[in-house]
Structure 1
Amino acid sequence: MRSKKPYDDAKLETLGARFSSTDVQKEADLAAGLLQRHGPVFCLYGRGQAFAGRFESKREAHRGFVVERTEGVAAKQNAIAGLNETFDAGWTWVEQAHAILGPFCRRDAEFALRVEKLTPEAEAELAMAVAGFNALLEEKKPELDADVPIDDLIAAAAELVVRLNAVLGDKAQAKVGAKSDTRELDRLDGELYLEIADLYDAGRKAVRAGRIHAPMTDFRFRYCVTGRRRPAAEPPTPA
C-alpha cells in the first residue's frame, strides 16, 4: 500500500493547476455516482453520508467557480494541453530508451543500478532522465544490433531536454494558469482530485475484498490523467 503524502494549500494549488477544471468536474461527477451506487460499502472505508454531503458541497462550489471564471479556465486548459504534449514526448522517449537498455541490466548489476537511479517517477524528473539515458545509450551503442534505430533516438534527446526544461522551469510546470483569479479554483481542483483519488483507492480495495462487484477500471481516473497515464485513443470504427 502506498503512503499518503500531506498537501498544504500551496501544494494543492500546484496539484490542481496540473488538471483542466472541466476534467476535474467530469471526474467529480463520476465519483459522485459511485458514492451513490456503493454508499454502504464506502461507509465501511470511512466515506459515509457525511463525507458524501461534504463532497457534494465542494462540487457545487467548484461548479460556481468554473462558471464565474470561464476565461481563466479556458486559458488554463489550453496551457495544460501544451504541457501534456511535451510530457508525452518525454515519457515516450524515456520508455523507448529504457526498453533498449533493459537487456544490459539483466547482465550487469552495476549498470542496472545506474538505470534505476535515472528512471523517473514524475514529470519533474523527465529532463534529467532523458539526458542521463541518452548518455547510457551513447555508451552502449557499439553493443546494440545494427538495425536498432538508436541514432534517431539520440538525435532527438537534446531538443527534448530543452523543451522539458522550458515547461518545468518557468514558475514550475504546474503553476500554469495560476493567476490571482484562478488560484482559489486551482486549490479546489487539487482538493477534489485528492478526495477522488482516495475514494477510488477505497473502491479498488473493496473490489479486491469482494464487497463491490464491478470492474476495477470503475475506480481509476478517466479524465484527470496526464502523460503516459492517459488512455489510448479508441480504434477507428471499421467502415
Structure 2
Amino acid sequence: MSALLEINGLRGGYGRVEVLRGVDLQVNAAEMVALLGSNGAGKSTLNKVVCGLVPAWGGSVRFDGHDLSGAHYRAVVQAGLIQVPEGRKVFPNLSVLENLELGSFTRARERRTSNLEKVFGIFPRLKERLAQNAGTMSGGEQQMLAIGRGLMAEPVLLILDEPSLGLSPLLVEEMFALIRRLRDEGLAVLLVEQNVGQSLEIADRAYVLENGSVRFSGLPQELLGSDALRRAYLGL
C-alpha cells in the first residue's frame, strides 16, 4: 500500500540558492509525522514546495494517488493537502467568521455550515468571538483560528508549520493536546516543529532535516535515544 504523501528526491530553493537537496519523506493515512530541524534547515521551504507555493527544482510529490509535482496551489488544496502556515497568517481586518469561511473557499464549500459546527466543537472560544476582528485576538486565539480555517477545507492531510511558535508554555501544552486529538480522530498530520520533545511525544514517526537534507528518520523512541540526533539537531 502506497503512502498518503510521498516525497522523493525533492529539490528547491530561491534564486540561485538551493535549500532542499533531495528530500525523501512519507506520511501514511491517519499517521502523525514530525519534521524537526533548526531555523534554516529547510522545513518551511519544503512545505511551500509541496503545497505549490514555491516551484520545485526536481523530484516528485505524490498525494493520495495523484502526482502533484509542479501542481498549482489550488489543485493541491482541492486534493485535500492543507497547510496551516507558520505565523498563523490570519486576515487581521476580517472577522473570525469571515476567516473561517475563507478556509472553505476552494474545497468543501457546500458543507461550510456543518464544518463550522465541527470547528466550534473543537474551539468553543471561536464561536464566542465570531464577529471579532482576527487582528485583535491573542496569539493563541489566532493559532486556533488558523487551524480552524484549515479544518474548514476538510483536509485529508494537515500540515502544521510551527504551531507552537510564540505561544506561552501553557498554550503550547494546549496546542499539543489539540494536535494529539486530531491525530486520534484519524487525521493525517505533518507536524513541522522546533519543539523536539513534545513533538516526539505525539508523533508516530519523525524526520530530522539539516541543511536541506534528511539526516535521520525513524521512530520517536529511536531518535530520542540517539546520540546522532543530539549531534545533528543540538550540535552536541
Q: Please, what TM-score do these two structures have when normalized by structure 2?
A: 0.25
Q: Relative contact order, CA 8 A, sep 6+: which one is greater?
A: 1
Greater percentage in strand: 2
Greater percentage in helix: 1
Q: Please, what TM-score do these two structures have when normalized by structure 1?
A: 0.24
Larger Rg: 1
